[in-house]
Structure 1
Amino acid sequence: MRRAGIDQSTKRSRIKMTSSPDKETEVQTSDQDPKSVKGLIDSQYETRVNASSGYWLCILLPFAFIINNIRYPKSSSAFDYKMTTIVSFGLCLQSIYIFTCILESRSKLLRICLISIPGICTSLFIQIILNQTTAVSVIWGLTTTLTYNYVYFKLLKTLPRSFTYGEASVAAQGLILFLMNGFLRIPHFVNNPPMTYMGQMNAIMITALSCLIVTLVLLYILKPLRNPVAFYPLMVALAVAVCTVPVTRQVPVVTLWNFIVSDLRRVAIIVFYIGLVGATIAAVNWRLQKDEKASTAVRKLFHLLVVFVYIPGLLYQCTFLYIASGVALAVMTVIETVRVIKVPPLYEALEKSFDVFADEKDCGNIALTPFYLLIGCSLPMWISPHACVTIDNALHNVILLMAGVLTVGIGDTAASTIGLAFGKHKLPNSTKSVEGTIANMVAQTLAVFLLVHFGYIHLNPISKLTTGFAIIFSSLIEAFTDQVDNLVLPLIFYITCIIT
């Protein structure tokens, strides 16, 4: 993302093949044998240009869930968390199947036989570990893995040049795991509304995002809904449904209001966030008036914005930040939907913003970089078995939840700024500079030092070594990977901290 331009000349060429008078399909040229499955897949799906396949990304999310269960067995003992862990492992197996068997095997019969193996393994784990019946285990195991297989290729087909193979696997895994959690939890929320604030905010966020996903599917299937006359009433109906669905003891909008006004410090944080949003809108508008492409340094200002949002939120109002991250994701999704399907009168301004602020990784039709930034900083909070719960282990409670802020908000910003200004010595087999990588490590270390110095966290000698190793390792990954660092680095830091 930093210190190097993109050579547009390396984009793969495409040819058009007409299959019928009124239908035209684009097929990507490839050096692969057209008779092989790999050649066929490469001809049908366009991955993000100037990036490797990134197959290794498929293990990150499942690995994070697995080590959470091993390291924090008491906090991870809930049925839905164990189910999520088992299914994530099955999705990892399905990803490996896609990357190996499908891409290399020429036998259609063999592929049909192998495609169900990850689902069968998942079913066995569900039956043995969670003590479920054979029928329930098979339904969950096969449904999740085969649905993942469909969603994975649907993402590559629908959003060409937006993902590498590995990035698409992370996106599909996250979507399937979220939908599964919604299916498991929403009926439980209706029958037994949660009592704690964290439980209530979790119920509201899961329900709201699930309703949004259903709405997006309807927009994808039913094109008349994209007309402004239908689109805006649909959005109003979505908002009403989210505010009134009975997943809390009081309707969600009342529960959320009571949660906000019950703490003056929470109100102060909200006022602070509103000020940041206003400043951001003003800055974006000022940049649009200049009518020129935003530089990397300008785009990194959004990373600093994330720092100002997440550090106070994690330290003082973690539960509110949890629900706010879900709201932000929903709002960004609606805004991007308006831009992509060209809903007047807003889409023209949004399209201009995309043209100005899109970076070299936004090669497809969707502006994924801002989503990756939000998701990367929020992911440690979302996957933690006890996020926002006060515990004695300060390393887990603060450092792990700040994995995205440290690596992306602070480290990557410092690396980009210093690398662009002073980077003269390139790392071997990388476009990144030694100076930028050192700046990455120093900035993260300084941030942790300040957190310790002002008493927000207390690290023993072993914890200090663990954090230091995670900083070094994530900085080196940032220097050498060509995958989306906003998504990769937080998971790398999170996993490294727990393992070591």
Structure 2
Amino acid sequence: MRSPETDSEHSETDSVGSSTDSQSSGLGAVRHQRRSAQRTDVFSLKAMAPRPNAGPGGWLCLLLPLALTVRLLRHATPACKDQARMQCLLTVAAGGMALETLCFFIYAFVKTGILVKCLVSLLPGVATSLSFYLLVDTSLTFAIIVGFVMTSAYQQIYIYTLRGFQRSFTYGEASVFVQGLVLFALSAIHRLGGFFCGGSWPTEEFDTLNMIMVNALFCLLVFCVALVLFPTLRKPCRFYLWTVMLLLAVTCMPVTRPLPLLALVQFLLRDQERLAILVFYMLLVVLTCLTVAWQIGSSAKANTRVRKIFHLLIVMVYIPGLIFECALLYLATGVALAAFVVLELLRLLKIPPFADRLAVAFSTLRTKRTPESWL
């Protein structure tokens, strides 16, 4: 028979052990809740930092589908049957991505049951696949694969954009940006794939420029994706090596006859007026560089008046191009876009020896509304 002291001590030990077990189980429950909350936050709009002092702008996800639909209805019977089919495919793809965005808002904002969430998650892929099959007249296998893969990829890129570029986009602006990237990738894959699979060489002047531009920007897009997927490419030596390879692919890949570099030289030297506008554009580039250097040397942040200089320079680029040389303006716009992307990569990845000067220029010219994450 045990003494009372022993029983009390045993009960105290049991109570301490039970309290310890309850504390450990409580900590485990808290950790489990945190982990589940972290997994939930991946698909929660609250975990994504949109641009401050701006509305959500969700309606912008309908902008590209509506624009492509209006164009398709106004030009219902284009001369080329393949072009008409591609326009219809891009319109359906844009509509599917807009539906994916709306369903994502419902999934993230509205509290519903698991069954409704599953249906909302499957709806964009099913609707896009059916639209490809019925409206674009594709095969059922192609419609299912492309419909689900495209909407899933769009959602992942959309989430990555909002989480990776914090305070840079509203929800609607991010949707327009990602839709544009996906539509361009689809168009480029269709055009380049059709060409390398036995398509004809471009004969018209603008078709040649368009093929060169599509090839160049698609190669640049692949390069940017590779930098995201393979961080080892961000080292200076490898970065410059792959940049040289990118330049060679753009200028020497046989997508035109003659090669793109020769085709561009012939295009620029064919017309004296075109050459004069090109010289004018080069002078504007030099003036822009001098303006940036002067602003950096003044060691003061640019005000609104200084930034208006760049607005004036942009207007001076577009006026002669729109009046006299639309093809040259199209080419110059693509070259400028590619150049700015490469310069921004140098600044963000801190690639020497240009990163420091670019960072100083950016900090000098940025406005108060520029997100801190861009620095």
- CA–CA separation in structure 2 for the residues paired with 1:349 and 1:140: 44
In the TM superposition, 1:327-406 aligns within 5 A as: 327-366=335-374
Partner of 1:293: 301
> Which structure exhibits the higher relative contact order, with contacts defined as CA atoms closer than 8 Å and separated by 6 or more residues?
1
Residue 75 (structure 2) aligns with: 72
Distance 1:185 1:245, change over 3 A: same
Stretch deviating more after TM superposition (278-287 or 242-251): 242-251
Partner of 2:325: 317
Residue in structure 2 matched with residue 57 of structure 1 by the alignment: 60
Structure 2 distance, partners of 1:254, 1:188, is 23
Give the 5 Å matches for 1:205-354: 205-354=213-362
Q: 1:118 to 1:43 in 2, by over 3 A?
A: closer
What secondary structure does 2:367 align onto? coil
Give the superposition deviation at 1:212.
0.9
Q: Aligned to 2:342, what secondary structure does the other structure show? A: helix
User: Which residue of 1 is the match for residue 50 of structure 2?
Assistant: 47
Identical-residue share of aligned pairs (%)? 36
2:88: which partner in 1? 82
> Which is worse superposed, 205-214 or 136-145?
136-145
1:23 alignment counterpart = none
Checking the alignment, whether the CA contact within 8 Å between 1:84 and 1:177 is kept in structure 2 is yes
2:136 counterpart residue number: 130
Task: Tell me if the contact between 2:45 and 2:109 (Cα under 8 Å) persists in the aligned partners.
Answer: no
Question: Does the aligned pair in 2 maintain the 1:179–1:210 contact within 8 Å?
Answer: yes
Counterpart contact for 2:57–2:172, Cα < 8 Å: yes
Distance in 2, matches of 1:112 and 1:193, equals 46
Match of 2:113 in 1: 107
CA contact 2:45–2:108 (8 Å) conserved in 1? no
Q: Could you tell me which residue of structure 1 aligns to residue 179 of structure 2?
A: 173
Give a deviation string over 1:326-371, Cα, whole Å, max 9, x none: 111111000000000000110001001111111244215348xxxx
- Provide Cα deviations, 1:225-266, integer angstroms capped at 9, x if missing partner: 212111111111110011111111221111111111111111
Greater shift in the superposed pair: 103-112 or 269-278: 103-112
* TM-score between both structures, scaled by the size of structure 2: 0.84
Alignment of 1:187 onto 2:193: yes
Instruction: Determine the C-alpha separation between the residues in 2 that align with 1:270 and 1:330.
Output: 18
Residue in structure 2 matched with residue 98 of structure 1 by the alignment? 104
Q: What is the identity, as a one-letter code, of the residue corresponding to 2:50?
A: T
Structure with the larger helix share: 2
Partner of residue 212, structure 2: 204
Q: Secondary structure at the match of 1:116?
A: helix
Q: Secondary structure at the match of 1:294?
A: coil
Deviations 1:95-138 (A, max 9, x none): 11122233213434432332221222222222222211111112
Counterpart residue identity of residue 135, structure 1: T
1:193 deviates by 1.9
Cα 1:109–1:90, aligned 2, differ >3 Å: closer, same or farther? same
Determine helix, strand or coil for the equivalent of 1:314.
helix
State how far apart, in whole Å, the 2-side matches of 1:129 and 1:222 are: 38
What is the DSSP-based 3-state SS (H/G/I as helix, E as strand, rest coil) of the residue aligned with 1:304? helix
TM-score by length of 1: 0.64
Total equivalences in the alignment: 335
Q: String of CA shifts for 1:371-422, please: whole Å, max 9, x gaps.
A: xxxxxxxxxxxxxxxxxxxxxxxxxxxxxxxxxxxxxxxxxxxxxxxxxxxx
- Distance in 1 separating the partners of 2:212 and 2:42: 45
1:116 to 106, 122, 131: 122
Change (3 A) 1:163 1:272: same
Q: Distance in 1 between matches of 2:114 and 2:206?
A: 48
8 Å CA contact retained: 2:41, 2:47: no
Segments of 5+ residues of structure 1 without an aligned counterpart are: 1-26, 28-33, 368-500
Other structure's SS at 1:365 match = helix
In the alignment, structure 2 segments of 5+ residues that lack a partner are 1-33
Distance 2:71 2:305 in 1: 36
CA 1:108–1:204: 2 relative to 1, 3 Å = farther
Q: Shift in Å at residue 297 of structure 1?
A: 2.8
Question: 2:56·2:170 contact (CA, 8 Å) conserved in 1?
Answer: yes
Contact 1:160 1:364 in 2 (8 A): no
| Backbone CA RMSD of aligned residues | 2.2
CA distance in 1, matches of 2:349, 2:114: 37
Which position in structure 2 is the counterpart of 1:441?
Answer: none
Q: Give, in whole Å, the separation in 1 of the partners of 2:118 and 2:308.
A: 46
After superposition, give the CA deviation of every residue in 1:166-214 in whole Å (9 maximum; x if it has no partner).
Answer: 1111111011101111111112233322111111111111111111111
Residue 97 of structure 1 aligns to a residue whose secondary structure is: helix
Q: Would the alpha carbon gap of residues 108 and 303 (structure 1) be closer, same or farther in structure 2, given more than 3 Å must change?
A: farther
How far 1:75 sits from its partner (Å)? 4.0
